[in-house]
Structure 1
């Protein structure tokens, strides 16, 4: 998918710009928009957000630069070749992830009267709230991400069991939420606790997205290679 704008300022997939900033409103329900964050064929490191205004990191381009995949390893072309076991795991994982984050959030809220609810650029808490109030955001975000991934899978093309990009993005948000919950409880228990926990929460999102999608692409390539080998064997036999 090409996300570069034409002379009118409108991208070929309908993305518009306001004062040079890309704005996408229907992105959450648009399967094409989900792919913007994983475009190995697009060398641009930053691409329009799936939903809202601004840019996201193109983890597909990052994976290519790291030598993990090739530029022509396009997920839409490989979607039908994702092994059933991998597709099933991607379908279930965001639901399980949402449940795990919810359990961690409820436990943290019940065992701590006050928890950090906002972090500054130096990864120190800038605001504290009651336990339930502090845990509401990560729990709701994780639950919403899991529901979005399932909705996207059901809205997908015939023959494609899962929206891999939506699942990967949901898992990345859930991993980030879980690490931030851990950071909050550790800070509440020990004011001198390491700042690495909230930092890890921020870094987790692109790392998890990249890892899940690269693994999915590689599994699809292996499945496709096996199918082609089998077809050649049958033909020669």
Structure 2
């Protein structure tokens, strides 16, 4: 049944580029396996293959022009609006956009589209983050996602406070590719590294927004909190063991922050997806006749 549904959907996606078609069908196959484990019928839950394929094509062909930066310098995108713009923030979570690399939130260059990464890893389908699925995410899980950056930032601030008296007046300032410090700075500059995690974590706690926006804020804040933690950990470790290459901890922050941010987004979304499936497959209530 699962293979037949995938083949039927694939037949209606012949107009998509080959790579996009393969990724979409691979993600669909993984989702159908979950439906089968839950005892749910694919067509009842997702709709007729032709309808599902049409919906998927609409999602993949969505207009992304509004997500483009306003200026370019020598072909490089330049963004000045920054992460305070919801439109700009949405670039980092756009499952319908197959591009892994998108213009960064502020400044010159590019950043990672976590939505495209989640699709390529088979964690979600390009059209999973729709309003119905988001509406089924429990409020408790959204609040837990918002608490992740606060927990990381709080642990970083606590660790620095405990180590503060043992630090020398000057500490490492920046690290090179070898993991060695590039310079020295007063130890109070570490408070700026802590603020890099604390301020976005507090911003992510705001609840006056739609579920997807709250999750995107939490994911962005989580990434910054992990970077903050890595800088503080590397600097404190370098002060205690100057011969070490502790700056390599900051290099590890990128994959660690990406994984943590992805979890903050995908775990609640998949929870909402499961609840949306159950709701769609539940029998309609019948009226009692007297």
2:178 equivalent to 1:122? yes
Task: Check the 8 A contact 1:2/1:42 in 2, yes or no.
Answer: no
Aligned counterpart, 1:8: none
Name which of structure 1's ranges 111-120 and 163-172 shifts more when overlaid on structure 2.
111-120
Task: Check the 8 A contact 2:153/2:229 in 1, yes or no.
Answer: no
**TM-score normalised per structure 2:** 0.68
Shift of 1:62: 1.7
Shift of 1:193: 3.0
Listed as ranges, the gaps of 5+ residues in structure 1 are: 4-10
Relative to structure 1, the CA distance from residue 69 to residue 169 in structure 2 (aligned partners, 3 Å threshold; closer, same or farther) is same
Relative to structure 1, the CA distance from residue 190 to residue 14 in structure 2 (aligned partners, 3 Å threshold; closer, same or farther) is closer
**Distance across 2 between alignment mates of 1:46 and 1:52:** 15
Relative to structure 1, the CA distance from residue 211 to residue 93 in structure 2 (aligned partners, 3 Å threshold; closer, same or farther) is closer
Shift of 1:166: 0.8
Shift of 1:194: 4.9
**Residue 166 of structure 1: which of 198, 217, 221 is its match?**
217
**Distance across 2 between alignment mates of 1:76 and 1:30:** 21
- 1:43-62 correspondence to structure 2 within 5 Å: 43-62=98-117
Aligned counterpart, 1:91: 146
2:69 equivalent to 1:15? yes
Relative to structure 1, the CA distance from residue 95 to residue 101 in structure 2 (aligned partners, 3 Å threshold; closer, same or farther) is same
2:272 equivalent to 1:220? yes
**Distance across 2 between alignment mates of 1:191 and 1:17:** 44
**Residue 191 of structure 1: which of 217, 227, 242 is its match?**
242
Shift of 1:221: 0.7
**Structure with greater Cα Rg:** 2
Name the structure with the higher strand share. 1
What secondary structure, in the 3-state scheme, does the structure 1 residue paired with 2:105 have? Answer: coil
Aligned counterpart, 2:263: 211
Shift of 1:36: 0.8
Shift of 1:94: 3.0
**TM-score normalised per structure 1:** 0.81
Give a deviation string over 1:113-149, Cα, whole Å, max 9, x none.
132221112322112223222x122211112211331
2:196 equivalent to 1:141? yes
**Distance across 1 between alignment mates of 2:85 and 2:72:** 20
Aligned counterpart, 1:65: 120
Q: CA RMSD in A?
A: 2.7
What secondary structure, in the 3-state scheme, does the structure 2 residue paired with 1:29 have? Answer: coil
Give a deviation string over 1:40-64, Cα, whole Å, max 9, x none.
2211111122333321111221222
Give a deviation string over 1:199-235, Cα, whole Å, max 9, x none.
22233222211222121221121121232234x2535
**Distance across 1 between alignment mates of 2:272 and 2:141:** 9
Task: Check the 8 A contact 2:152/2:229 in 1, yes or no.
Answer: no
